[in-house]
Amino acid sequence: FPTWFWNTVQVAVVSTFISVFVAAFGAYAMVRLQWRGAGFVQTAILFAYLMPTVLLFIPLYQIFTNLKLINTIYALMLAYPTFGLPFACWLLMGYYRSIPKDLEDAAAVDGANHFQCFIRIVLPLTLPALLAVALFAITSSWNEFLLAFVLVSPDSERTLPVGLGNMVIGDIFPFGQMFAASIMTAIPVAIIYMVAQKYMVAGLTAGSVKG
């Protein structure tokens, strides 16, 4: 159990960081920067969000096999953001649209470029939405079973959902151990949600209503 727990923590933290980092910059570029094809990319992101994730399993398996990352947690660290990025980008695009562009225009008059406007003005205002994205990303990666079951086989590389599933041997169900492990698995995410709940609701509300 400790090995599965540590693997899950690593996968959740790294995949969440990738999702939040890429979505924060990507959504800002699509909303604020004027470039040809931005509308097409936004539509493509929407369709990617609506696509069943199971369709990506075989391509991802082939890619990670070629990269020699199969049966390692690194495959999960890179695979999970492919499912969370469309939602993260769509939510953040709605939130960025709710921020008055006059704030950035005023900073631009003082000599700030797009990157400085984003880091010093937009990013601090976007923290509730970023937290909402991070919570959804870390929850989905923490609880994900099917992709982890497909990409990772060695017991030393398994995450908690797969490890708990493999505690069942034939028709033998160790209910006591499974229930105890399930409770310990749920506690970290429950604590995170209790601490950050109000910020997550604020981020979701702004991103959905204004978007």
Cα 168 to Cα 189: distance, rounded to the nearest angstrom: 24
Residue type, 123: L
Per-residue pLDDT at 211: 43
Every domain of the chain and the residues it spans:
2-209
Residue 204's pLDDT is what?
A: 53
- Predicted pLDDT at 208: 45
Query: How would you label 122-155 residue by residue, b for 16+ Cβ within 10 Å and e otherwise?
Result: beeebebbbbbbbbbbbbbbbbbeebbebbbeee
Tens digit of each residue's pLDDT (9 = 90 or more) over 164-193: 777 777 677 677 777 787 788 788 888 877
Angle (CA) 79-16-208 rounded to 5° is 105
For residue 52, CA distances in Å to 2, 48, 56, 135 come to: 32, 8, 8, 21
List the CATH code of the domain at 2-209. 1.10.3720.10
Count other C-beta atoms under 10 Å from residue 91's C-beta: 23
Q: Which of 146, 132, 103 is nearest to 193 (CA)?
A: 132
Q: In angstroms, what is the C-alpha Rg of the chain?
A: 20
Whole-model pTM over 0.85:
no
**How far, CA to CA in Å, does 85 sit from each of 15, 44, 92?**
10, 12, 10
Q: How far is CA 132 from the centre of its chain?
A: 10
CB–CB of 82/57 below 8 Å? no
Whole-number Å distance between alpha carbons of 142 and 4: 11
Q: Tens of pLDDT along the chain (211 residues)?
A: 788 889 889 999 999 999 899 988 888 888 877 777 777 777 777 777 777 878 888 888 898 899 888 888 898 889 888 888 888 888 888 888 888 888 878 888 878 787 888 888 888 888 888 888 888 888 888 888 888 888 888 888 888 888 877 777 767 767 777 778 778 878 888 887 777 776 666 555 554 444 4
